[in-house]
Structure 1
Amino acid sequence: MRLYARTPGRLSRQVLADLIAAALILAAVKLALTVRDAVLRLAEPGRRAESAGDGLADSLGDASDVASKVPLVGDQLKKPLRSAADAGTGMADAGRSLQDTVEQVATLTAVALIAIPVVFVLLLWLPARLRWIRRSAVTRRLAAEPGGADLLALRVLTGPQRDLAALPAPPDGLAAAWRRGDDQVIADLAAIGLRQAGLHR
């Protein structure tokens, strides 16, 4: 299986198209990662809330333990401090939840920013490359078969006529020369067919 043409013009176009496709995909990935990093910075308030909530819960939990040892009123002092510690834990949980949400949004945004351009590039670039690979394989197989040169010559005669102007035309015309089996005309036409497919210089 041949991936690239042998004719310089078509080879240059194929390499250029491949480089552009790769550059666009790379740019999409880089942009997506940059946007993801920017979105993840929005989680900073959540990290602060988590840290503050955990610190508050620990401090108030320690205070409630100390307050519970006060004679006569220890249990009464412990309850509000324990409630405040629970509120601190709730604030820390809210901070963690915010961070999780921001991470999910950042990941989904990055996936979308990568997937949409990559699918678009692949839809524009890949079918043309696969068509050429398939067509070149068929043309090479046809050229290698007995009578394949005749079929390539016929393909050239029935296709666009722009490449036929350079051929020296017999007095009765190229089509008549092909019909009577003129070996030189058939070889010249088959060579044009291979060159049109990008298989020979």
Structure 2
Amino acid sequence: MLLYAQTPARRSRQILADLIAVVLIAAAVWFALAVHGAIMLLAEPGRKVESSGEGLATALDDAGDTASRVPLVGDVLKKPFQSAADAGTGLADAGQSMQDVVSQVATLAALALIVVPVAFVLLLWLPLRVRWIRRSASLRRLLDAPGGADLLALRALTGRLGDLSAIPAPPGGLADAWRRGDPQVVSDLSAIALRRAGLRP
């Protein structure tokens, strides 16, 4: 199974198309990761809110513990500090939630920026490459089959006429020589059919 054409011009075009596809895919991934990083910068306020909330809750918990040691009224003094500490914990949870939302948005945006362009490139490029690989394998099998050269010669006769001008016209013309089974004409015509597909005879 051939992955690339045997003729230099077709092979160069295939390699160039493959390189362009790889570069476009790599650029899409790089851009998506850059966007992901930029969106994740928006999570910084959430980190600060979470850190501040945790610090506030810890300080108020400590203050409540200290107040609870006051004789007779310690439990009464601790309750406001405990309520404020709970509010600080809620603030920290809000900061964490904000970070989670930003992270989800960044991940979804990066996935979309990777999947859509990569799918577009693959839909344009991959079917053409697979079709050429399958067609070249079919032509090689046809050439090796009995009577395959005759069929390839017929294919050349029904294709572009410009390619046929390279073959010296025998008496009666190429079609007549093909019908008679002239080995040289059949060989020349099958070589043209193979070259059109990027293959060597």
TM-score, structure 1 as length reference: 0.98
Deviations 1:107-165 (A, max 9, x none): 00000000000000001101110110010000000011111110100011112212001
**SS of match in other structure, 1:72:** coil
Residue in 2 aligned with 1:195? 195
Taking the aligned partners of 1:162 and 1:37, their CA distance within structure 2 comes to 55
Deviations 1:37-68 (A, max 9, x none): 00001000000011000000000001101101
TM-aligned CA deviation for residue 200 of structure 1: 1.1
Taking the aligned partners of 1:175 and 1:128, their CA distance within structure 2 comes to 32
Residue in 1 aligned with 2:96? 96
Taking the aligned partners of 1:197 and 1:159, their CA distance within structure 2 comes to 12
Taking the aligned partners of 2:146 and 2:75, their CA distance within structure 1 comes to 103
Taking the aligned partners of 2:116 and 2:150, their CA distance within structure 1 comes to 46
TM-aligned CA deviation for residue 170 of structure 1: 1.2
Taking the aligned partners of 1:50 and 1:127, their CA distance within structure 2 comes to 50
**SS of match in other structure, 1:163:** helix
Structure 2 residue runs without a partner (length 5+): none
Residue in 1 aligned with 2:41? 41
Residue in 2 aligned with 1:18? 18
Residue in 1 aligned with 2:163? 163
Taking the aligned partners of 1:180 and 1:72, their CA distance within structure 2 comes to 122
**SS of match in other structure, 1:64:** helix
Residue in 2 aligned with 1:75? 75
Taking the aligned partners of 1:154 and 1:199, their CA distance within structure 2 comes to 17
Task: Please say which of residues 4-13 and 70-79 is displaced more in the overlay.
Answer: 70-79
**SS of match in other structure, 2:162:** coil
TM-score, structure 2 as length reference: 0.98
Structure 1 residue runs without a partner (length 5+): none
Taking the aligned partners of 2:181 and 2:68, their CA distance within structure 1 comes to 111
**Which residue type is aligned with residue 43 of structure 1?**
A
Residue in 1 aligned with 2:110? 110
Residue in 1 aligned with 2:120? 120
Task: Please say which of residues 78-87 and 67-76 is displaced more in the overlay.
Answer: 67-76
Provide the aligned C-alpha RMSD in A. 0.8
Taking the aligned partners of 2:130 and 2:98, their CA distance within structure 1 comes to 46
Residue in 1 aligned with 2:182? 182
- The alignment-based identity, stated in percent, is 69
Following TM superposition, the consecutive aligned residue runs of length 4 or more in structure 1 with deviations greater than 6 angstroms are none
